[in-house]
A and B are shown apart, each in its own frame.
Chain A
Amino acid sequence: MGKVKGKSGPLARRPDNSAFKQQRLPAWSPMLTATTVLPFFYLMALICMLLGVWLLLTVQSTQEIKLDYTEAGTCDMCFEKRKNVSNAAQICTCTVVFPIKKALKGDVFFYYGLQNFHQNLRRYMDSRDDAQMVGRKTNLKNPSSYCEPFMKDPNGLPIAPCGAVANSIFNDTFTLTYHGSSGPSIPVPLLRKGITWYTDKNVKYRNPKNDNMTLAQVFEGTARPLYWQKPVYELDLLDPTNNGFINDDLIIWMREAAFPNFKKLYGVLYRAKQPFTKGLPAGNYTINISYNFPVQYFRGRKEVVLTTLTWFGGQNHFLPIAYLVTSCLILLIAIILTVVWWKFGKNGKRLEE
């Protein structure tokens, strides 16, 4: 471009003629024209509509049974019992009977749910020590100060696992029994393992390294959380590998819920044996509950949920309906825009001419 090379001559201080410096970079200048916006809106409406319908159909194929057992069945007795703190150590079991009218086909998931339990309070969520739960020995004996006031027990022993989260673990246990129309009652087998995130079970929670020591020895010198009946290394008496910090129930509890009403996975139907190979058959069921977790202090409710799943999870009516509503709104907007464009639009008219 006739630029003088070097630093002399009358054009020595002339700026470079590069596209960047002259602000002439090749560029794409999109513009909102009727020909792009209107088809886009219709397309959006269509896509949302299709998605909505598809999701709705999918959701329709799932089944869900919710059962609030806070005071249901014989549990009202336990409910009353738990109102008094001094009874905390006493065992209380109760039974709730419920029918399943239509068989739950496929994998059936068993959840416990809590309402009005705030796992999402800032100080509650902070009240844990991940370093302790990943098995660091120093942290085992010296938990993070965030765990206060659940850091040390009255005797000054460090609590393992420390903090409010672990301390408040949900400790009701359930056994589900099937009463078929004929024959004896059959206990419904539940798989209570492999129900956590892979990373939680294998990375995030580790027991302290024990060189030929038993878990009990490893946790020696620590105290169990104040509200616990059992120490952490005896959480699952049946399966020694499911003890300590890597206990599935503990892990699931430690994954705090985002909202005050939540459900957490308790177990999955084990479908190896009849009559549960195809899911839960219709009929009457009873749940035996070891009723430990007091909810009346905070006006909470407890429930169990049985559900089947599809590719995108459990029963969730919000998403398909939201998609359908959105689709309708977009369609409405698109129609309005088209009318406006056709009747009043300045660009529209000018394009016509």
Chain B
Amino acid sequence: QYLCAKHEERRVRANDREYNEKFQYASNCIMTSKYNIVTFLPVNLFEQFQEVANTYFLFLLILQLIPQISSLSWFTTIVPLALVLSITAVKDATDDYFRHKSDNQVNNRQSQVLIRGSLQNEKWMNVRVGDIIKLENNQFVAADLLLLSSSEPHGLCYIETAELDGESNMKVRQSVSVTSALGDPNNLALFDGEVVCEPPNNKLDRFCGTLYWRDKKYTLTNQNMLLRGCVLRNTEACYGLVIFAGPDTKLMQNSGRTKFKRTSIDRLMNTLVLWIFGFLVCMGVILAVGNAVWEREVGSLFQSYLPWDPPVDNFLFSAFLSFWSYVIILNTVVPISLYVSVEVIRLGHSYFINWDQQMFCSQCNTPAEARTTTLNEELGQVEYIFSDKTGTLTQNIMSFNKCSINGKTYGTDPLDFTPFNPLADPNFCFYDDTLLESVKVGDTHTHKFFRLLSLCHTVMSEEKSEGELFYKAQSPDEGALVTAARNFGFVFRSRTPGTITTTEMGRPVTYTLLAILDFNNIRKRMSVIVRNPEGRICLYCKGADTVLLERLHPCNQELMNITSDHLNEYAADGLRTLALAYRDLSEDEWEAWSESHRCADKAASCREDRLAAAYEQIEQDMMLLGATAIEDKLQEGVPETIAVLSLANIKIWVLTGDKQETAVNIGYSCKMLTDDMTEVFIISGHTVQSVRQELGSVCLSLSLFSLQCPPPSPPPPPSNLMDNISGEFALVINGHSLAHALEADMETEFVSTACACKAVICCRVTPLQKAQVVELIKKHKKAVTLAIGDGANDVSMIKSAHIGVGISGQEGIQAVLASDYSFSQFRFLQRLLLVHGRWSYLRMCRFLCYFFYKNFAFTMVHFWFGFFCGFSAQTVYDQYFITLYNIVYTSLPVLAMGIFDQDVPDQRSLEYPKLYEPGQLNLLFNKREFFICIAQGIYTSVVLFFVPCAVLSNATQSTGVPLADYQTFAVTTATTLVIVVSVQIALDTGFWTVINHVFVWGSLGLYFTIMFALHSQTLFKIFPNQFHFVGSAQSTLLQPVVWLTIALATAICIVPVLAFRFLKVDLKPQLSDTVRHTQLVRQKKRKPVGRSVGGAWRGVGRVSEGRLGTRGSRRSGYAFAHQEGFGELITSGKNMRLSSLALANFASRHSSSWIDTLRRKKHSHAHTPPSASGESSPPLYRLPLLFLAGE
């Protein structure tokens, strides 16, 4: 780093290692690992002691080494501390081992380096700055290179930057013209140019430098750079000069540490631990004051038997020491094993997520993955989900689903094309053989229909071998249409700037392409004008029905009506529609228009407008052919998942870069928006004023509605009117309006409005805005947010949400890398949240409650004993018991509960999404629950101390030996404690697996075994001073009176708890109790409950219904093209290769068998329970029980 500061610039001379070595640039060896074998111990320990808890225990350890203070042996602290430290160390070491492994793997990749004129294979780590590297097709770029020359013309080369920025489309890079001439290695070996450029930085899209060669200067830009992490595509080979290597590369400079996310339970826990510290200090002070008083009143008189320690000369100093002694004794209220146990539990939950078969996607062979192990219980508290659309809700696969040709609609049964057409795309699927028939018999309209589809587009084709066609379409919709035509026998083969070659019904035809009237957002249509081999000129047009139907010849009226009906029908099915039309042109017409077009094209001013006018002129009096319907395929189970999640009171916001139409369309098809919603508000103002106005009117109508139709439940207080609106509203907001709405003065209004709506869709938002929206909700709602997305544009949102989920296996891996959880299907989200999240939250809460309880019960006994032992910091228990209590005797059962507990089975939590609510409301562990636990713990400690105290102080053994000796008392109390907390964990455990049994009984067994071992003669004979409890165990536990004491104390501790729990279940049963109860009783008959609970339920019943209402929301097509078409590029004939490559990404991506997906999707539409998702998808009709709980 200091080098950069010293040299404001970097100098690299090609093929001159000696020169470059002067600067000591980083080598290409990367090291993401933190430790090596030597540094591991010190560095890791140093890191661990930066944690407050560990330092605290170290401080305690030091206190214990002071003999006047030490109330406990040093090992009572050091053993747990060492255990905790070593567990963490092992985890860190494992992590680092894998980092080493992946570093090694990357560092040992081979690359070809030009050394002394010849290419040699070198490991990546040995590549130096200034070397020239040869890259071949599909190779990863090893370092940041200056592109020198390429096998392609003009020094072009193509790269994919998915790993770098997540964008999976191809990008072109070009070398400086002087170097591109240096084609072969021999010339390159002599190249000695010197590059002067900026120091390493993390800006991916910027580079500035200068190449000095042969006394000339050449400016270098990002356009000349190949960055590490990119992959070379469609380029045979290229040569590059290493500019930045290893840690200096932009990829490594960008891989900063992600910010550490903490869960709300974590934060609560930290607060509570601080409170407990405060409590500890209070206890210490009370006991120290007690000690002062005692020493003054009694201790001073007792001095002949026990003089004060030499440094102590008065009772105050004694009290001061006693304070510290008690801090040591009572430190177990802040259990050292808390943090490590929490980590272990979370790790277990993460493994359960990784292991879940029902979150495994067999199509893409990807299991779910918990990439962070620290957020699991927050999954059970999510209130807002922010979802990307493309690739997350949808598969980004368009399928030609239905069509209407000349007033006849097609599209029902699957078809096999191969016998009919050898050029068919095997992945294409259509469902109506009558259409095929009509193609076969040669129906003119049908032929025209498909001819149009095969001609009117801007798709590029690539035919690698005969019959193996690849289409590269600018938008997936267009690709789907051309593919449809191809399969029905009208195969688009190739194009030149002036011609289009097709194969029509097996016969090759070449059309002359006269003009492309390209698409834009205003026209919402595109046309081509072609001359067929017979010489006839025809205009083919496809476009949004709204614009196209206006431009038809009047004689089409009847057909238009029928087609219009069909269009409505398609739109109601959530399909995207396009209308198709043609117009035969006479030679004269064409000539005339062509002239005017040329004029417009050459016009210096207002070219756009004049072109549009010219297009408008010819696109008139067209003959309607029909309409197409394209399905933007949703991912499997998306509507069901959204329904279940919204039943669980989770609000789903869709944040997409798509256009408003597309977004709304998807909103409808995934049932976020429904036609029976009260109103769908759209905010699309461009100015602050208009946005404010629109928001205001939304607010107004929201409040109006809530006044007119008060919800069935008791009316909400007016203050939070907005939170309690029961009607179903949806809000659609545009990116440019959002920019205004996110400004400081409007954001509160925006948040309250948006949160009152059931669904919110933000379209045309930038990645930054996505993150802003998430931050906004985090700030204003104090709710747990989850962001889910698949692309690089979702990274910011994923990082800023409490929980980020990446959809794997679609676009780049950027989103997954930034995410906390990743899986490959949106529908797994319901299982992640409702099953895993819910369980994690429940388990963590139960764990924490019990953990604080058991430590208070354990520790507070010392406090009570203080009043009897002159506040001298004498412990009640044997020091070994204190050491082992938390880490051996009571750790495993509570861990087992924390890892395995279930209140209701997983299917039930999906069936009753309401079960998710306690997590959102934070009911299971909050300050109140904490105090209840503490109170219970203190109560238990009172019983634990005073019952044995009262019994034993008078009791004797049956041999007459008094039982009131310290060791008997210690053993009795300890045994009672272990038994009481074991009974308590038994009560808390709701799901007794074998493991729980083993752990609970095992812990008890272990306690007795260890106690007998520690009190054995053998150990005493070796270390008489350490094991002076010899014989206490058998002497004590053989006494019936001891067992009667234990039984009595246990009963007194447990009975009130049991009674309270029973009352709670009986009087205020939680939904989970009810569900459990039902499970238990196995009530077969579920009575349907007539009364509806609230608006939240109304939409549900409808979800399973196949169709939407037909309240005239035809959502027309051409929503797909996000940018201008490529018409001009094609006709100009400029660099065909480049443009086709730029388009290349779409077709190549979905090479896998999505036909399976398609077929399954169809099936699942036909029969409601989708076979693929199996049990995981909840039958929505089993809801009546929810109503009981809602009351």
Contact = CB atoms under 8 A, between A and B. Distances in A.
B1035 interface: yes
Interface in B935-963: 947, 949-963
A268 B1062 contact: no
Is the contact region of chain B dominated by helix, strand, or loop, or is it mixed?
A: helix
B212 interface: no
Contact of B1067 (A15, A131, A330, A345): A345
Contacts of B900: 23, 25
Interface stretch (A178-186, A213-221, A250-258, A278-286): A250-258
A326 interface: yes
A315 B951 CA distance: 11
A25 B950 CA distance: 45
A198 B535 CA distance: 122
B3 to A, nearest CB: 44
Contact of A340 (B968, B1040, B1067): B1067
B1051 interface: yes
Given A195-B961, A203-B1017, A298 B302 contact: yes
Interface stretch (B305-313, B706-714, B919-927, B1158-1166): B305-313
Contact of A121 (B306, B365, B1041, B1066): B306
A116 B543 CA distance: 102
B992 to A, nearest CB: 4
Nearest to B960: A109
Given A199-B1031, A323-B1048, A258 B961 contact: no
A326 B1048 contact: yes
Given A125-B966, A319-B1045, 12 more contacts: A14-B365, A27-B996, A31-B1080, A107-B960, A197-B1031, A258-B949, A260-B869, A311-B958, A326-B1055, A345-B1067, A346-B1066, A346-B1067
A351 B1063 CA distance: 16
Interface of B: 71, 298, 301-302, 304-307, 309, 325, 351-352, 354-358, 360, 362-363, 365-367, 839, 868-870, 872-875, 900, 902-903, 906, 947, 949-970, 990-996, 1017, 1020-1021, 1024-1025, 1028, 1030-1031, 1034-1035, 1039-1041, 1044-1045, 1048, 1051-1052, 1055-1056, 1058-1059, 1061-1063, 1065-1069, 1073, 1076-1077, 1079-1081
Contacts of A124: 305-306, 872
Nearest to A18: B355
Given A23-B352, A197-B1031, A255 B993 contact: no
Q: Which 10 A-B pairs have the closest CB atoms?
A: A199-B1031, A21-B355, A258-B969, A122-B874, A313-B956, A109-B960, A25-B993, A28-B992, A314-B956, A122-B872
Given A261-B953, A314-B956, A199 B1030 contact: yes
A203 B1045 contact: no
A341 interface: yes
B952 A167 contact: no
Given A122-B872, A203-B1030, A298-B302, A17 B357 contact: yes
B990 to A, nearest CB: 6
Contacts of A322: 947, 950-951, 1048
Given A259-B868, A315-B954, A326 B1051 contact: yes
Given A167-B305, A197-B961, A120 B990 contact: no
A13 B952 contact: no
A196 B959 CA distance: 9
B1037 to A, nearest CB: 13
Most chain B beta-carbon neighbours within 10 Å: one of A21, A37, A40, A120: A120
A203 B1068 CA distance: 59
Interface in A97-140: 107, 109, 111, 116, 118-125, 127, 129-131, 133-134, 136
Nearest to A345: B1066
Given A124-B305, A260-B868, A319-B1044, A344 B1067 contact: yes
A40 B1055 CA distance: 10
Contacts of A89: none
Contact of A298 (B298, B365, B902, B959): B298
Contacts of B366: 13
A11 B362 contact: yes
A67 interface: no
Interface in A189-223: 195-200, 203-204
Contacts of B1021: 134, 203
A164 interface: yes
A32 interface: yes
Contacts of A345: 1066-1067
Interface in A301-324: 307, 309-319, 322-323
Given A14-B362, A55-B1044, A326-B1052, A309 B956 contact: yes
Nearest to B1015: A199
A204 B964 contact: no
Nearest to A34: B1066
Contact of B367 (A15, A32, A55, A310): A15
Contact of A11 (B365, B952, B970): B365
Nearest to A336: B1059
Contacts of A317: 954
A347 B1066 contact: yes
Given A51-B1044, A121-B874, A199 B1035 contact: yes
Contact of B993 (A26, A144, A258): A26
Contact of B1059 (A268, A313, A333): A333
Contact of B365 (A12, A41, A264): A12
A263 interface: yes
Contacts of A34: 1062, 1066
Contact of A120 (B352, B355, B869, B957): B869
Contact of A27 (B869, B962, B991, B1017): B991
Given A29-B990, A340-B1066, A44 B955 contact: no
A265 interface: yes
Contacts of B991: 27-29
B1062 A337 contact: yes
A1 B560 CA distance: 54
B362 A309 contact: no
Interface in A235-264: 255-264
A248 to B, nearest CB: 11
B960 A265 contact: yes
B66 to A, nearest CB: 14
12 contacts: A31-B1065, A119-B966, A122-B873, A124-B306, A125-B874, A144-B1025, A197-B961, A258-B868, A311-B958, A346-B1066, A348-B1066, A350-B1077
Nearest to B965: A255
Contact of B356 (A22, A27, A197, A261): A22
Contacts of B1031: 197-200, 203-204
Contacts of A116: 298
Contacts of B959: 195
Contact of A15 (B301, B356, B947, B996): B356
Contacts of A344: 1066-1067
B1035 A313 contact: no
B838 to A, nearest CB: 12
Nearest to B1191: A346
A334 B848 CA distance: 30
B301 A122 contact: no
A130 B1022 CA distance: 11
Contacts of A314: 954-956, 960
Contact of B1051 (A13, A307, A330): A330
A309 B304 contact: no
Contact of A111 (B875, B962, B1056): B962
B1077 A347 contact: yes
A94 interface: no
Nearest to B360: A14
A230 interface: no
Contacts of B961: 195-197, 265
A160 interface: no
Contacts of B1066: 34, 337, 340-341, 344-348
Contact of A10 (B362, B995, B1034): B362
